[in-house]
A and B are shown apart, each in its own frame.
Chain A
Amino acid sequence: MIRDTPLPDTTSDRRGFQVPVLGTLYQWVRRYPVLPVIIAVGLAIMAIFAPWVAPNHPLESELDKLAAPPVWVEGGSWDYVLGADKIGRDLLSRIIHGSRISLSVAFIVIICGSVIGSGIGIASGMAGGIWDEFAMRIVDLVYATPFLLIALVAAVVFGASLELVLILLTIFSWPIFARQTRGLTLQLKNMDYVASSRVASASEFRIAYRHILPGVVNTIVVIATLQIGSLILTESVLSYLGVGIPAPQPAWGSMVADGREFITTAWWVPVMPGGAIFLTVFAFNFIGDWLRDYLDPRLRQIN
């Protein structure tokens, strides 16, 4: 039986869009992540120059500004653009200073995690045998561990602190690098050029550094970018639950936690810092997706 309903053309033309203007715009945004890059660069500038960018002091409160609304809500003023929190501290300034914490935590962890993880991954891929087996079992173990609960236990034992957050996040961020680089190393080490360099009596370290590493570096960069978003999210969850960065540091997650009871009366107090987390994560995820499609489409299964 032949039906003459027009089929959506999904078979051949990957560029065909049915909404010309919006479709093209969307496609263009998808191809060149302009907005996410602007957000990310803006954030970096904000974080580095926080004391100069922020219009007010993040920890000083003004008593006549208690829970002042943002500028576009009735009663708001340009002094406190995004409003003020329950004890009259400027939300925008606190968010700007908070970006320092969130971003630096994410970057420190991602650098430690990717170096440790890919080091272990390459080494265990090259070594093979019992060491490889051992390293991969450890990776399995970390994957199977409920991170958040371990973080809670650790917070009880050691007390919440910035160092604890860094250590915990690093411990839980390296396995993904190890697993991916190991898989690639297993493929690469059987390549002819690796065999030739071994014939030319290159040391194992030299092979790893000169011949394997360049082959896995794209993967590392893509995973790292994709992980930044989830690290920022995880850090904010820890801070929200009160086991992350301790007060009075303006971490985004704890700012939301502080303001949550104001959701009925002054919604901007919890919503603004959460919005900052959302925008940041969104930007990094978008850049990560783009990098992945561009550098290493093979990784599409990871998310």
Chain B
Amino acid sequence: MIAVMIGISVIVFGLSRLTGDPRLLYMTQGTRWSQEVWDARGRELGLDKPMVIQYLVWAGNAVKGDFGQSLWHKRNSLKIIIEKVPATIQLSGISYLMAIVLGVTLGTISAVTRGTLIDIAVRSFALVGQAAPPFWLALILIYIFAVYLDWLPTSRRGDWTNFVLPATTLAWLGSAALTRLTRSSLLEVLDSEYIKLARAKGVAGSTVIIKHALKNALIPPLTVAAVLFASFLTGTVVVETVFAWPGLGRLAVDATKNNDFPLVTGITVIFAAMFLFSSLMADLLYAYIDPRIRIYDS
């Protein structure tokens, strides 16, 4: 956990030192610094010291939440980032829940109705979700629901109607893998002896599925779902850009366009931390739903 975080910080730090003088990255383009400022910045970043010390200086500041002043906004990067966190958590959280509910439900429906038109429809839905580029899916939904039918707003944050399109886009993409996994895992379980026994005893069809089969069949999809949250965080980068959603992802893309190095590194480190936190949660959840792995492992 901590080792991975250190690894990621080394990558980000390394990128800043791979090109010429890192001071250039902290300079707004087109401006000039006087010799004194230039030297002072060098001492501040520890450029006169060995790499290891430079890294420790950088990492020490990062731990304190100091990624440097944003070149574009002229404010502390961390403050800007924190302002944008709620919007991203809101969007990714809602669409994440939608994706899990959608994936499990559709997967179950398609396993139970295997071979019928419903099954084929559900599987096509999942295949589209796996192959469509996120920005394209978003644009098509915008065209259909916001332009052609004019039911929903196209972008920005506001009341719940603004949630519908971005959340649906993310949920569709996220639920695709879950749907397929739920389907195949449920089909496998339905093949097993204890299900046959339950059926032979005369347990009703829906009860067999809900009480007996799903309990075991949901273990693989739920494990994947737990890991999936990380990809939702990345997915928000694209979806927020398309829908002009004022969150972290869009901030990162804008900062990239403005060559705002301190801000981009700040967002990356924050994202990495959220990434790791979600995978830690995934591990804990995994141990909770599948008692067989609870004992060992660190």
Contacts and interface: CB of A to CB of B under 8 A. Distances in A.
Interface of A: 1-3, 5, 7-8, 10-11, 16-19, 22-23, 26, 137, 140-141, 144-150, 152-158, 229, 233, 236-237, 240-243, 253, 256-257, 260, 263-264, 267, 270-271, 274-275, 277-278, 281-282, 285-286, 300-301, 303
Contact of A19 (B115, B147, B267): B115
Contact of A158 (B19, B115, B127, B180): B19
Contact of B276 (A144, A256, A285): A144
Contact of A260 (B15, B128, B230, B242): B242
Contacts, number: 182
B261 interface: yes
Interface of B: 3-4, 7-8, 11-12, 15-16, 18-19, 25, 111-117, 120, 127-128, 130-136, 139-140, 142-143, 147, 177, 180-181, 184, 187, 190-191, 195-196, 199, 202, 204-205, 208, 220, 230, 233-234, 237-238, 241-242, 252-253, 255-257, 259-261, 264-265, 267-268, 271-272, 275-276, 279
B8 A141 contact: yes
A241 to B, nearest CB: 5
A23 B115 contact: yes
A243 B256 contact: yes
A263 B127 contact: no
Contacts of B116: 18-19
A271 B136 CA distance: 7
9 contacts: A7-B208, A10-B112, A146-B272, A149-B237, A152-B255, A243-B256, A271-B136, A301-B220, A303-B177
A35 B47 CA distance: 58
Given A144-B8, A233-B133, A271-B143, A156 B259 contact: yes
Contacts of A270: 136, 139
Which 8 pairs from chain A and chain B are nearest by CB? A274-B136, A282-B131, A17-B115, A149-B268, A281-B131, A141-B7, A2-B202, A10-B190
Contact of A11 (B115, B140, B180, B199): B199
Contacts of B234: 146-149
A4 to B, nearest CB: 10
Given A23-B115, A242-B257, A237 B264 contact: no
A150 B268 contact: yes
Contacts of B115: 16-19, 23
A256 B134 CA distance: 11
A237 B279 CA distance: 24
Given A23-B115, A144-B279, A229-B131, A153 B205 contact: no
A156 B132 contact: no
B256 A152 contact: yes
Nearest to A242: B257
B130 A149 contact: no
Contacts of B135: 236-237, 240, 253, 256-257, 260, 274
B254 to A, nearest CB: 10
A155 B256 contact: yes
A156 B238 contact: no
Contacts of B261: 153, 156-157
Contact of A150 (B11, B127, B133): B11
